């Protein structure tokens, strides 16, 4: 009997076939007596080696282990991209977007009183290939974060049965680092592939329902609790009819384990919605209240510096940090409020955050990093 046959009969070789090349054998296979070592290597000290053996060839480690050159380069690229982007923006005055807001549909399942799209909803589901071109365009311009909006973006479908999750996959294929879902919370979103989820909540209970419709708060509250997603936050647009609910909604976000944080915007008077805007004295009182909660440790996304600048009417806007692609395909270098003449009365908190970041406010930079690099 050949030596190899005798050894195979004794159980020396396991599943690896005898005619494999020499380097195909694993370390634990070669010339061991039958049963001498288990797969976990019998005589190892406790914890000495994991199941993935120490001397495996390059490429045998799993993604979470030791050293992955490709992952390391990817992580390094992300860590260096933001400082490079800041340098180009702040020092070289190169205005390249970091975020893209891409409208994929104007269909919606609500008729909210403050919406700039109200009155012309339900005309278009943007085609998949058109969205692909818009993603590639935005990525090439410098954007690395994508937010699909509507309408209600979870309603998006195409003729081939694709859903919003297919758009998240597409965005990652293009190269985007993070995908955000902004939703009214009226549909379950537990299966979303979005990295972060923002649910629009315009007040607690009846205050929200006054803006978005009876029963809408109870429904979104249920969907938030059922989602099981680790990065769910809520955003409130404060206006004249829900301003008294600010404190209660902050406490709701703090008490709800399914919610990571809360962000605040203030109603921007788009045409037809001017009556909802607070006067500046009211708005500043609300901002002071939010700042007080923030300083007490409540989970508010807005930075104190960003909130303070929102008290000043007509402050300079740096909204080119986000490019917008509208439902009709128009590609805007900044917020569409600029073409509606709404900039002086702007209530979008990102305007204050962008202003503060580019003026190197430490608390705003830290808030931005927490927002963009969760976990």
Stretch (H or E) spanning 293: helix 280-295
| pLDDT given at position 373 | 66
Q: Domain total for the chain?
A: 2
Three-state DSSP state, 140: helix
Beta carbons of 143 and 100 less than 8 angstroms apart: yes
What per-residue confidence (pLDDT) applies to 170?
A: 98
Higher pLDDT, 13 or 123: 123
CB 196 within 8 A of CB 230: no
The answer to whether residue 62 is domain-embedded is: no
- Statement to judge: residues 146 and 51 lie in one domain: no
Q: Which of the given ranges, 52-61, 80-89, 215-224, 362-371, has the highest pLDDT on average?
A: 215-224
Cα distance between residue 327 and residue 149, in whole Å: 9
pLDDT of 133 > 60? The answer is yes
The predicted pLDDT at position 13 comes to 40
Closest CA to 262 of 290, 226, 241: 290
In terms of domains, do 42 and 128 share one? Answer: no
Number of residues in the chain: 375
Q: Average model confidence (pLDDT) for the chain?
A: 82
Query: Could you tell me whether strands 99-103 and 322-325 are parallel, antiparallel, or unpaired per DSSP bridges?
Result: parallel
Chain centre to alpha carbon of residue 330: 23
Please indicate, yes or no, if residue 73 is contained in any of the structural domains: no
Query: Which of 41, 57, 73 represents a domain boundary (last residue)?
Result: 57
Distance (Å, whole) CA 101 – CA 138: 10
Same domain, 29 and 112: no
Q: Say yes or no: 31 and 144 in one domain.
A: no
pLDDT tens digits along 256-292: 999 999 999 999 988 888 999 999 999 999 999 999 9
pLDDT more than 70, % of the chain: 78
Q: Are residues 7 and 108 in the same domain?
A: no
Calpha distance 106→137 (Å, rounded): 21
Average pLDDT for 329-345: 88
318 half-sphere exposure, CB direction, 13 A CA radius: 22
Residue 143 falls inside a structural domain? yes
- Which pLDDT score, from 0 to 100, does residue 219 have? 97
Of residues 251 and 29, more confidence is placed in 251
Indicate the SS3 state at residue 264: strand
User: Looking at the DSSP assignment, which residues form a beta bridge with residue 265?
Assistant: 237
Assigned domain for 70 exists: no
Q: Are residues 50 and 109 in the same domain?
A: no
Say what the pLDDT of residue 45 is.
Answer: 39
The stretch 174-197 carries a mean pLDDT of 96
Give the number of other Cβ atoms within 10 Å of residue 202's Cβ: 28
Q: Is residue 47 part of a domain?
A: yes
Task: Report the C-alpha gap between 305 and 211 in whole angstroms.
Answer: 29
Cβ atoms of residues 156 and 108 within 8 Å: no
CA atoms in the 13 A half-sphere facing the CB of 54: 5
Structural domain ending residue among the three candidates 57, 73, 96: 57
Residue 79 is predicted with a pLDDT of: 78
Regarding whether 224 and 98 lie in a shared domain, the answer is yes
Which three-class secondary structure string do you get for 47-70? CCCCCCCCCCCCCCCCCCCCCCHH
328 by DSSP, 3-state: which? coil
Contact 222, 210 (CB under 8 A): no
Residues 195 and 52 in one domain: no
Shared-domain flag, residues 154 and 22: no
- Looking at the fold, whether 12 and 100 belong to one and the same domain comes out as no
Q: What confidence tier does 53 reach under pLDDT thresholds 50, 70, 90?
A: very low
If asked whether residues 34 and 113 sit together in one domain, one would say: no
Q: In what order do the strands lie in the sheet with 262-266?
A: 262-266, 232-238, 196-200, 178-183, 145-149, 99-103, 322-325, 331-332
Lowest mean pLDDT among 45-49, 112-116, 245-249: 45-49
Q: What is the pLDDT of residue 167?
A: 98
For residue 296, pLDDT beyond 60: yes
User: Residue 334's domain is classified under what CATH number?
Assistant: 3.20.20.70
Residue 108, φ and ψ in degrees, nearest 5: -145, 155
Distance between CA 256 and CA 262 in Å, rounded?
11
Whole-number Å distance between alpha carbons of 133 and 147: 15
Mean pLDDT of 348-356: 92
pLDDT, tens only, 249-266:
999 999 999 999 999 999
Helix residue ranges per DSSP H, 53-105? 69-90
Verify that 22 and 107 share a domain, yes or no. no
Residue 23 forms part of a structural domain:
yes
Say whether pLDDT at 12 is over 70: no
Contact between 135 and 102 (Cβ < 8 Å): yes
Which pLDDT does position 86 carry in this prediction? 87
CA 330, 127, 322, 186 torsion-angle sign: positive
Residue numbers of the domain that contains 24? 1-57
Q: Are 307 and 355 in contact (CB under 8 A)?
A: no
Percent helix, strand and coil across the chain, each to the nearest 5: 40, 10, 50
Tell me how far apart the alpha carbons of residues 230 and 214 are, in angstroms, rounded to a whole number: 28
Instruction: Band the pLDDT of 64: cuts 50, 70, 90.
Output: very low
What is the model's pLDDT at position 8?
43
**Tokens of residue 68, six digits:** 């992955």
Is 60 exceeded by the pLDDT of residue 59? no
At 73, the pLDDT band (50, 70, 90 cuts) reads: low
Residue 67 covered by a domain:
no
Q: For residue 117, is pLDDT > 90?
A: no
Residue 360 lies in a domain: yes
| pLDDT in the model for residue 270 | 85
Which of 288, 300, 295, 284 has the alpha carbon at shortest distance from 236?
Answer: 300
What pLDDT is recorded for position 121?
62
| pLDDT at 128 exceeding the cut of 90 | yes
């Amino acid at each position: 009997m050949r030596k190899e046959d005798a050894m195979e009969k004794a159980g020396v070789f396991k599943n690896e076939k005898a005619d494999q090349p020499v380097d195909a054998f694993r370390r634990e296979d070669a010339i061991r007596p039958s049963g001498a070592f288990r797969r976990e290597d019998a005589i190892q000290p406790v914890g000495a080696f994991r199941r993935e053996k120490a001397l495996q060839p390059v490429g045998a480690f799993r993604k979470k282990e030791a050293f992955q050159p490709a992952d390391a380069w990817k992580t390094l690229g992300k860590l260096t991209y933001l400082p490079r982007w800041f340098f180009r923006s702040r020092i070289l005055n190169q205005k390249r977007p970091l975020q893209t807001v891409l409208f994929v549909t104007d269909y919606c399942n609500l008729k909210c009183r403050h919406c700039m799209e109200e009155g012309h909803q339900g005309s278009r589901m943007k085609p998949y290939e058109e969205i692909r071109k818009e993603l590639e365009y935005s990525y090439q311009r410098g954007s690395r974060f994508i937010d699909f909006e509507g309408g209600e973006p979870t309603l998006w479908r195409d003729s081939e049965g694709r859903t919003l999750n297919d758009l998240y996959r597409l965005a990652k294929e293009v190269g985007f680092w993070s995908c955000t879902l902004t939703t009214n919370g009226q549909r379950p979103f537990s299966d979303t592939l979005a990295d972060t989820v923002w649910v629009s909540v315009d007040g607690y209970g009846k205050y929200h329902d006054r803006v978005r419709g009876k029963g809408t708060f109870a429904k979104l509250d249920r969907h938030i609790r059922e989602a099981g997603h680790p990065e769910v936050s809520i955003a409130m647009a404060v206006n004249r009819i829900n301003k008294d609910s600010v404190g209660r909604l902050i406490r709701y976000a703090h008490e709800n384990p399914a919610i990571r944080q809360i962000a605040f915007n203030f109603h921007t008077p788009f045409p037809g919605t001017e009556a909802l805007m607070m006067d500046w004295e009211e708005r500043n009182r609300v901002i002071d209240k939010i700042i007080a909660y923030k300083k007490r440790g409540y989970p508010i996304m807005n930075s104190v510096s960003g909130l303070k600048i929102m008290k000043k009417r007509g402050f300079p806007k740096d909204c080119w940090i986000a490019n917008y692609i509208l439902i009709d395909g128009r590609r805007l270098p900044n917020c569409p409020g600029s073409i509606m003449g709404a900039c002086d009365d702007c209530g979008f908190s990102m305007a204050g955050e962008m202003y503060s970041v580019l003026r190197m406010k430490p608390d705003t930079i830290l808030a931005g990093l927490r927002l963009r690099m969760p976990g």
